[in-house]
């Protein structure tokens, strides 16, 4: 009899404890704006709510990977076995439409439909997926392995409340991250303008003396015998003068870009021209060039010469990152305006991915700064000019790390 009474009171306490758990979780979210810290907090509460063996949080990234949902905790032991989830893929599309907790064993028909993309998660014994919905949008998915199942109605209800709280918290974190990036872009734009004015003054002062030096060395070179040390020395000086002239030209381009000639272009045709241009160099380095083009991409209004300048600069950087060989991939896709709140118009996304050693996070933040370079003999102007060109067309360019540790450059160009 006494045992029955104790069991009854224990049953009454459970909802109170779970309510306290949810209240504590909601309060703890108010001060957290870091996605990984939020993930750790969420996993802790999930373990208290249900017997969770593992949980993997995928989030939409507003800038670096607008097209994909990526795993938050890259250091997770399973990260290398899990892919990004494409925004146009069947998993993301299904959750955008249905917006409900999916228990795989109870929904075999849906599970079979999603299996082509779901299989890596099934291989890890994941048996449940919980969508994160905020502001009527899918911003993430939590994949979980529940050891003891099935969950009862109270646990499922609490899980839904927990997911709503987590969704708002992750949304705030993403908005905070976006605000930081906007501030960074504003600072970069101001820095670029200041550097441009400074560079223009130096470039104009250098160009005339360099022209005189080149003319003089050319005259002296003609006076020396063919093959003589003096002639070879003069030729070497001419090469260095030409290199300086090229730097001066880049400085002027950064400060006062040449007049653009935008016209309607086929993006895939321009990429193919760039691929053909670097094909010989790629072959000599044992680098495979791979293209994956999205279907029915709209035409863009862009100066084709400027677009090729951007693409070639990015592709050559990719080749330089793989001296021992690898794959350089060029991918395109179309991003619909309604797919994301920060986009008011449709955009074409061009991604260039290499399999090099990658770029450290602290260096990635500075690669678009004028004169910043990690290359021996580099000027640090290539990506700064690329950024300047893309910005003139109201586009965006960003750099991220790939799943395999290489580098991915994403170029977003508005359709107009």
Statement: residue 376 has pLDDT above 80? no
Mean pLDDT within 176-204: 68
- pLDDT: which is higher, 128 or 257: 128
In this prediction, residue 315 carries a pLDDT of 93
Output the domain CATH number for residue 168: 3.30.450.40
Pair (263, 395) in one structural domain: yes
In this prediction, residue 48 carries a pLDDT of 74
Do residues 51 and 188 lie in contact, with contact meaning Cβ atoms separated by under 8 Å?
Answer: no
Looking at the structure of the chain, the number of domains it has is 2
pLDDT band at 318 (very low <50, low <70, confident <90, very high): very high
In this prediction, residue 188 carries a pLDDT of 65
In this prediction, residue 286 carries a pLDDT of 93
Pair (31, 118) in one structural domain: yes
Pair (275, 148) in one structural domain: no
In this prediction, residue 347 carries a pLDDT of 86
In this prediction, residue 117 carries a pLDDT of 92
Pair (122, 269) in one structural domain: no
- pLDDT: which is higher, 35 or 93: 93
Strand partners, 408: 353, 400
Mean pLDDT within 57-79: 68
Domain for residue 323, yes or no?
Answer: yes
Output the domain CATH number for residue 288: 3.30.565.10
Percent of the chain with pLDDT strictly greater than 70 = 77
Domain for residue 273, yes or no?
Answer: yes
Pair (286, 415) in one structural domain: yes
Statement: residue 390 has pLDDT above 80? yes
Domain for residue 305, yes or no?
Answer: yes
CA within 13 Å, CB half, 256: 10
Full domain range(s) for residue 137: 2-181
Q: Tell me which range, 157-161, 328-332, 375-379, is most confidently predicted by mean pLDDT.
A: 328-332
Domain for residue 49, yes or no?
Answer: yes
Domain for residue 58, yes or no?
Answer: yes
Pair (170, 23) in one structural domain: yes
Residue 148 burial class via C-beta count within 10 angstroms: exposed 0-12, middle 13-18, buried 19 and up: exposed
Domain for residue 197, yes or no?
Answer: no
Q: Which of 117, 146, 181 delimits the end of a domain? A: 181
pLDDT band at 361 (very low <50, low <70, confident <90, very high): confident
115-146 pLDDT, tens digit each:
999 999 999 999 999 998 887 888 889 998 88
Domain for residue 215, yes or no?
Answer: no
Phi/psi for 243 (5° steps) reads -65, -40
Residue 194 burial class via C-beta count within 10 angstroms: exposed 0-12, middle 13-18, buried 19 and up: exposed
Q: Tell me which range, 84-88, 149-153, 230-234, 311-315, is most confidently predicted by mean pLDDT.
A: 311-315
Pair (175, 285) in one structural domain: no
pLDDT band at 377 (very low <50, low <70, confident <90, very high): low
In this prediction, residue 143 carries a pLDDT of 93
Q: Which of 181, 216, 232 delimits the end of a domain? A: 181
Pair (28, 164) in one structural domain: yes
Pair (151, 271) in one structural domain: no
6-56 pLDDT, tens digit each:
454 344 344 444 445 445 555 555 566 666 777 777 777 777 777 788 888
Pair (266, 165) in one structural domain: no
In this prediction, residue 21 carries a pLDDT of 47
Pair (175, 267) in one structural domain: no
Pair (177, 266) in one structural domain: no
Least confident of 14-23, 69-78, 298-307, 398-407: 14-23
Q: Tell me which range, 164-168, 249-253, 291-295, is most confidently predicted by mean pLDDT.
A: 291-295
In this prediction, residue 256 carries a pLDDT of 60
Statement: residue 63 has pLDDT above 70? no
Mean pLDDT within 326-333: 93
Domain for residue 189, yes or no?
Answer: no
In this prediction, residue 115 carries a pLDDT of 93
Q: Which of 181, 207, 230 delimits the end of a domain? A: 181
């Amino acid at each position: 009899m006494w045992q029955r009474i104790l069991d009854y009171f224990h049953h009454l306490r459970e909802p109170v404890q779970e309510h306290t758990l949810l209240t504590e979780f909601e309060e703890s979210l108010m001060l957290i704006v870091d996605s990984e810290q939020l993930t750790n907090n969420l996993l802790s509460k999930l373990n208290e709510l249900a017997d969770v063996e593992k949980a993997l949080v995928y989030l939409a990234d507003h800038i670096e990977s607008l097209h994909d949902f990526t795993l938050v905790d890259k250091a997770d032991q399973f990260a290398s076995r899990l892919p990004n989830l494409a925004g146009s893929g069947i998993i993301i599309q299904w959750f955008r439409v249905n917006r409900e907790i999916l228990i795989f064993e109870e929904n075999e028909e849906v599970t079979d439909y999603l299996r082509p993309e779901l299989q890596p998660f099934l291989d890890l014994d994941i048996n449940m997926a919980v969508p994160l919905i905020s502001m009527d949008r899918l911003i993430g998915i939590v994949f979980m392995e529940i050891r003891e199942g099935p969950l009862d109605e109270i646990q499922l209800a609490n899980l839904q409340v927990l997911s709503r709280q987590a969704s708002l918290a992750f949304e705030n974190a993403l908005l905070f991250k976006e605000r930081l990036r906007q501030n960074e872009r504003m600072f970069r734009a101001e820095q670029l303008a200041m550097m441009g004015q400074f560079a223009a003054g130096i470039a104009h002062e250098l160009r005339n003396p360099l022209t005189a030096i080149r003319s003089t060395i050319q005259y002296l070179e003609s006076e020396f015998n063919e093959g003589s040390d003096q002639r070879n020395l003069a030729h070497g000086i001419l090469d260095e003068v030409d290199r300086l002239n090229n730097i001066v030209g880049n400085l002027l381009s950064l400060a006062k870009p040449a007049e653009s000639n935008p016209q309607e272009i086929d993006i895939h045709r321009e990429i193919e021209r760039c691929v053909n241009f670097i094909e010989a160099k790629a072959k000599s380095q044992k680098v495979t060039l791979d293209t994956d083009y999205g279907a029915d991409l709209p035409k863009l209004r862009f100066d084709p010469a400027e677009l090729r300048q951007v693409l070639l600069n990015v592709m050559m950087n990719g080749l330089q990152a793989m001296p021992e060989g690898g794959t350089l991939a060029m991918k395109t896709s179309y991003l619909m305006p309604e797919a994301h709140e920060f986009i008011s118009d449709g955009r074409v996304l061009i991604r260039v991915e290499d399999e090099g050693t990658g770029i450290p996070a602290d260096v990635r933040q500075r690669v678009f700064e004028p004169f910043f370079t990690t290359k021996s003999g580099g000027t640090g102007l290539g990506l700064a000019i690329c950024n300047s060109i893309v910005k003139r067309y109201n586009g965006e360019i960003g750099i991220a790390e790939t799943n395999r540790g290489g580098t991915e450059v994403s170029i977003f160009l508005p359709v107009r």
